Amino acid sequence: MKKALLFILIASLVLTSGFAQGTKEQAKGEKEIVILVKNMGNGFFDAVYRGSQEAAGQIGGMKTVYMGPPQPTAEGQIEIIETLIAQRVDGIAISANDADALIPVAKKAMAAGIKVISFDSGINVGGRIVDLVPSNEELIGRQQIQLAAELTGHKGDIAVLSASAQATNQNSWISWMKEEIKDPKYANMRLVEVVYGDDLPDKSYREANSLMQKYPNLKAIICPTTVGLLATAQAVKDAGKTGVVEVTGLGLPSEMKGYILDGTCRQMALWNPVDLGYTSTYILNGLIDGSVKGNVGDTFPAGRMGSVKVEANGMIVMSTPFVFNKDNIEEYAAIF
Amino acid sequence: MAERSKMTFIRRAMVRREFTLVALLVIMLVPITLRSPQFLSVANINRILNDMAILAIVAIGQFFVILCGGIDLSVGSIIAFTGMVCGMVNESHPSISPFVLLALGIGVGLLMGLFNGVLVAYGKIPPIITTLGTVNIYRGMTFLLSGGSWVTAHELSVAYIAFPRNTFLKISYLLWIAFAIIGLFYYIGRYTRTGREVYAIGGNPTAAKFVGVNENKIRVVVFVISGTLCGLAGALWTARYASAVNEMATGFEMQTVAACVLGGVNFSGGAGGIIGVALGTLFLGIVTNALPVVYLSVFWQTFVQGLIILIALALNTISDQRKSRRVLQERRG
């Protein structure tokens, strides 16, 4: 038994040291910021970090570090923030796995003098100074229905394949999709069901298959998540339903290039994650300098993005999603 | 005489167990088909079988470990690691043959299973503790190997992604592989010396040792079988879902255990068969695929899934109680 316990102890030590290790090799006077993402290994966040590096290079005297838990959980992010408080970094930009669970630890970080903002998937008021929204949630949701309508000629059954049932941003987009489809111009379209693939390829693939099985008149599947979109495109292609069941949603150009070129997913949308990381970094820079407080009505300079303005509840809206299709996919696939 | 009647008894029990499962399947299929007639279409049955093929392969490995009185909790992590290895090798060598990738997955899985087996047999650490450690170690190795990133469809070669989907006589390679594995291990479990020794160790380790069965060897062998099959499954998983993800197959061990238990494998070891495991897998597959089709809300699906498994198990256990008493008597005599 002793042997077994020792074994587990060693195993857990190996694991925690592998994942939670942060390095602190900051030169005096240099600003250090952390881009804390939902989980490691997500192409979208890799692009966010690239934008942050670009901005840090332009600002100068700033070091940006990329971190995230191995699994997309709030617990993992809380652990990392605790470590960052101990390391006394200057700023953290977070894409949150839970809008409320991170508030206490984020408050602790702010009390320790760290500037905390959220981006992409926000933290509720009280847990961050400002929240950078990639686009207006209303515009994203409405645009998804518009994209599906264009593909299906404004008629037929459509379904939504989302991430997890409690994902903050997906749920808000879906509620706007439900608003948009009430418009009389979609009278011949019906949103039949919302299913959840939990951002796992195998589960999403299976759910996409059941949708096709369950609704013989299905004309389109909307996937407002990159993992779900990839798996759905593969499932539709495997079922031989390319052109019968249209696929659209929010996807990464490099991952979706093949499916866009072969016609499985003829168009999809996404804001530019590079710009998101870039703008977050400029916002943190303003806050760390103390040149902008982040109060409602304040304006942050944001390099090539011009400037962004703080609105009610500390929200900052960046831009409207960009539509990718076979004409522009090659160009963007090379970037992210 | 005792030997002979014991054999026929085991045979009868197995038939009965599998019979219960088939009966349950038929009972379940009636309301499903009434609700959604296309559920029994050839295309849909083909889809369900393909969906379950990987689970069947891994459940067979789990079966041998359970048969020996153990459990392998590390199967999901072995799948993830081998799947990631295959994905990354394919990414850096796009022209590599899918067969080489399968062999690679099998080889790496074998080593990981061997490590489990050696710890259990020679380290004398109980299987549940050993694999509770290695499930994390192997998952951690997956993250360390990949640096946390994924391999997605566009980074994998067309030939690799197509491999499990290619068909021979209208049946996918994936299914052929699953059928071959079921057949091979049915033979090994029933007709080879090693196979019978696994049953012996699981049934009565002391007696088995007295008749000269090398217990340590058998304990290593079952984990090697499980690891090897997980390696094969990992290579297939990455191709089938066209991506290698660090979180892949998380929680898969529970599904494999469920498939075994549904198939009538006895948790105290020594009883059960491959056909039961295959039927148990099919049962799980039909439940998971049928629930969305009968318009059950996603929030109820996992709940109902668990309930159906519990009911199936309860029925199995009830029909089992009388038999286990008889087994005991026969051993005494």
The verdict on a CB contact (< 8 Å) between A213 and B288 is no
- A195 plus A254 within the same structural domain: yes
Q: Give bridge partners of residue A311 from the DSSP assignment.
A: A315
Q: A229 and A210 in contact (C-beta within 8 Å)?
A: no
Given a cut of 50, the residues of chain B with pLDDT beneath it are 1, 322, 325-333
B154 lies within 8 A of chain A by CB: yes
Contacts of B133 in chain A (CB under 8 A): 7-8, 11
- A145 plus A245 within the same structural domain: yes
Q: A250 and A225 in contact (C-beta within 8 Å)?
A: yes
Share of chain A above pLDDT 90, in %: 61
H or E element: which one contains B168?
strand B167-168
Choice between A16 and A108, residue whose per-residue pLDDT is larger: A108
Assigned domain for A285 exists: yes
For position B225, what pLDDT does the model report? 96
- Greatest pairwise CA separation for chain A in angstroms: 70
Per-residue pLDDT band for A10 (boundaries 50, 70, 90) equals low
Centroid of chain to Cα A245: 26
Give pLDDT tens digits for A199-253. 888 889 999 998 998 898 999 999 999 989 999 999 999 989 999 999 999 998 8
Contacts of A167 in chain B (CB under 8 A): none
Please, which residues have CB within 8 angstroms of residue A190's CB and are 6 or more apart in sequence? A156, A157, A158
- Mean of pLDDT values over A188-209: 91
Q: Which residue shows structure tokens 């390391």?
A: A87
Q: Give the closest of A18, A165, A214 to B144, CB-based.
A: A18
- A149 plus A172 within the same structural domain: yes
Lowest mean pLDDT among A4-8, A43-47, A143-147, B111-115: A4-8
Residue type (1 letter), B247:
E
Q: A154 and A189 in contact (C-beta within 8 Å)?
A: yes
- A259 plus A165 within the same structural domain: yes
Assigned domain for A10 exists: no
DSSP state string for A108-120 = HHHHTT-EEEEES
Distance CA A90, CA A110 (A): 10
Distance CA A197, CA A175 (A): 18
Nearest to A66 by CA among B81, B147, B137, B150: B147
DSSP state of B195: H
- A162 plus A176 within the same structural domain: yes
Assigned domain for A165 exists: yes
Average pLDDT, chain A: 88
Nearest to A257 by CA among A325, A163, A161: A325
* Residue spans of beta strands (DSSP E) within chain A: 31-36, 62-67, 91-94, 115-119, 131-133, 156-162, 189-196, 218-223, 246-249, 267-270, 299-301, 307-309, 315-317, 322-325
Choice between B225 and A73, residue whose per-residue pLDDT is larger: B225
Best mutation site among A2, A5, A7 for testing chain B: the one with the most B CBs within 10 Å?
A: A7
- A264 plus A286 within the same structural domain: no
Count up the domains in chain B and report the number: 1
Assigned domain for A286 exists: yes
Give pLDDT tens digits for A154-164. 999 999 999 98
- Tell me how far CA of residue A330 lies from CA of A26, A84, A259, A260, in angstroms: 39, 39, 12, 10
CATH number at B265 reads 1.10.3470
Contacts of B143 in chain A (CB under 8 A): 18-19, 40, 70
Residue A18 reports pLDDT greater than 50 = no
Range of the domain at B119: 2-332
Distance CA B212, CA B145 (A): 42
- A194 plus A47 within the same structural domain: no
Assigned domain for A207 exists: yes
Assigned domain for A15 exists: no
Residue A306 reports pLDDT greater than 90 = no
Assigned domain for A242 exists: yes
CATH number at A163 reads 3.40.50.2300
Range of the domain at A37: 28-134+273-318
Helix (H, G, I), strand (E, B) or coil at A67: strand
Residue A29's CB is within 10 A of a number of other CB atoms, namely 6
Q: A310 and A295 in contact (C-beta within 8 Å)?
A: yes
- A48 plus A115 within the same structural domain: yes
For position A4, what pLDDT does the model report? 63
Assigned domain for A190 exists: yes
Q: Give bridge partners of residue A317 from the DSSP assignment.
A: A133
User: Tell me, what's the ipTM?
Assistant: 0.72
- A141 plus A262 within the same structural domain: yes
Contacts of A206 in chain B (CB under 8 A): 51, 288-289
- A151 plus A246 within the same structural domain: yes
Per-residue pLDDT band for A143 (boundaries 50, 70, 90) equals very high
- A303 plus A238 within the same structural domain: no
DSSP state string for A134-195 = SS-HHHHHHHHHHHHHHHHTT-EEEEEEES-TT-HHHHHHHHHHHHHTTSGGGTTEEEEEEE
Instruction: Write out the two tokens for B228.
Output: 């090897």
Q: B290 and B27 in contact (C-beta within 8 Å)?
A: no
- Cβ under 8 Å to A: B residues 185-214: none
